Amino acid sequence: MKNLLKSGVILVVVALLLGSCSSNERSGSTGWKYNDQKWGGFEKLDYQGQATGPNLVLVEGGTYTMGITDQDVTYDWNNVPRRVTVTSFYIDETEVTNLDYREYLFWVDRVFGESYPEVFQKALPDTLVWREELAFNEPMVETYFRHPSYDNYPVVGVSWLQANDYCRWRTDRVNEMILIEKGILNPNAEQKDEDNFNSESYLVGQYEGNVRKNLKDIRTGGERRVRFEDGILLPEYRLPTEAEWEYAAWALRGNQVSEKDELISDRRIYAWNGNTVRYQKRDKQQGFILANFKRSGGDYMGMAGRLNDNACPTAQVRSYPPNDYGLFDMAGNVNEWTLDIYRPLTSTTLRDVENQDLNPFRGNKFQQKQLDEEGKPVEKDSLGRVKYRYVEDDEVSNRENYKVGQPFNFLDGDQQSQAFYDYGEHTLVSDKARVYKGGSWADRAFWLSPGSRRFKDEDKADRTIGFRCAMVRVGSPTDEPSGIAFKSKKKSKPRRYK
């Protein structure tokens, strides 16, 4: 009898809980019912938070001292330490590999190769970066990108512009995969030219696809396509900003004294603790090299029988221990592109610039969709992408938060700063110069420090530069509910798409 009563109580509680999540739930401001066709059909989602995309790791944001921590042996003074904050974001666990990039080329060739072969040619990496006048690297020209032996090695010879194109392509493929796995679209390998899945084109109604079953439309009782407000599609993949990349590389969370204090025990020179590039703990791994780099002149890998980093030139991703965020190769192996335009002094070091200590970034070129007379996006382009245009200065003259449409030169190279970069005469810095960081297989240990930075033109490639993707985190900065006093003691696992 007691068991029956207990079971009855449980059933009542469950029924009450289910009832609270049904269409009987009401607006706290108007009293109207949510998710009820009779009450207009306004939808309130039971949203569980942003899912983690393939190969991404959530990096919980926070404040840190951005800048160089080792002796500035180059005397560039181009990364002066300063306090900044970055919001939470996602970043790839590993660098993009040759296999990943070949998958991208395969898709581009299949969809655009017949009608727009120039799109495929534009995406090809520059394998000639391996050539050198006084070295026999010709085998690498032919094998490094194409041979299966190098499938899991980081792709190189990819310019900053090409890396951005890859990020946009990856956004669309991941979102298309999500819709397929949710049973909304059927797989469609027959996409050609402009008739291909693009996240933005789909959201604005300019791509239909092979529909399996759309979502239920509570307002009409019929079906509807997925909307941005549903929270199903992920934000865009992109390159990390310099501040994000450096924050993720330091991984100072590993030196947090306790979860109750805002204290770290030590700063770092590299992506790990200590002032050496060798593993220091007393176990079988003691003395092992922690990254792939050039130890000294002419020593790229050590002696036969006792190779120090066991790689020449690059190494497979995940060959060395991850940092305290679980990220591999944030030091060594290959340098990595970041989103920023390079300037010797960043905006946060200028005294007359305020409020640039949150998500600092130089490189904004504000855009907006091209709209027709009815205020709707104009027809997509021949590659299936929504058309954008750059914002003009006269369009923002009445705004208080920003005054120029393309502020990548703001107070450093524009008329307000009374400075300019005389490219080719006195400097190699131009508006095409992009920051790369991390050090590579061909660099000395100094460049492994996350605070070091260099630059290269966005349309140039190198055998020592690769990249990884990042993504913004929307909503709560963690996978736990917002707030401090009501924080769950049990950590929740992130939702992850397979």
> Is the separation of the CB atoms in 69 and 449 below 8 Å?
yes
The pLDDT assigned to 12 comes to 41
DSSP class of residue 204? Answer: T
> Is the separation of the CB atoms in 275 and 267 below 8 Å?
no
Q: How confident is the model at residue 15 (pLDDT cuts 50, 70, 90)?
A: very low
The pLDDT assigned to 132 comes to 93
The pLDDT assigned to 111 comes to 98
pLDDT in tens, 85-140: 999 999 999 999 999 999 999 999 999 999 999 999 999 999 999 999 999 999 99
As a whole number, mean pLDDT of residues 300-308 equals 83
The whole-angstrom separation of Cα 189 and Cα 187 is: 7
Cα dihedral value 184, 188, 192, 198, nearest 10: 30
pLDDT at 346 over 90: no
Cα dihedral value 332, 336, 341, 342, nearest 10: 20
Q: How confident is the model at residue 483 (pLDDT cuts 50, 70, 90)?
A: very low
For 249, list phi and psi in degrees, rounded to 5. Answer: -70, -40
Query: Terminal CA-to-CA distance of the chain, rounded, Å?
Result: 46
Superfamily designation of domain 47-182+232-365+406-498: paralog of FGE (formylglycine-generating enzyme) (3.90.1580.10)
The whole-angstrom separation of Cα 43 and Cα 354 is: 40
Return the minimum-mean-pLDDT range out of 265-279, 290-304, 446-460: 265-279
- Tell me how crowded residue 156 is: count the other CB atoms within 10 A of its CB: 30
The whole-chain average pLDDT of the chain stands at 86
**Which residue shows structure tokens 């990856």?**
170
pLDDT at 16 over 70: no
Helix axes 160-181, 98-112, angle to 10 degrees: 80
Return the minimum-mean-pLDDT range out of 34-38, 111-115, 158-162, 375-379: 34-38
pTM metric for this prediction:
0.89
> Is the separation of the CB atoms in 45 and 231 below 8 Å?
yes
pLDDT at 391 over 90: yes
Domain spans of the chain, in order of start: 47-182+232-365+406-498
The pLDDT assigned to 349 comes to 46
Verify cis geometry, omega within 30 degrees of 0, for the bond prior to 313: yes
For 286, list phi and psi in degrees, rounded to 5. Answer: -60, 130
> Is the separation of the CB atoms in 140 and 130 below 8 Å?
yes
The whole-angstrom separation of Cα 382 and Cα 93 is: 34
Query: Going by C-beta distance under 8 Å and a sequence separation of 6 or more, which residues neighbour residue 73?
Result: 446
Question: Per the structure block, which two tokens stand in for 101?
Answer: 């990039």
Name the more confident of 400 and 334: 334
Question: Per the structure block, which two tokens stand in for 247?
Answer: 């924050």
The pLDDT assigned to 8 comes to 47
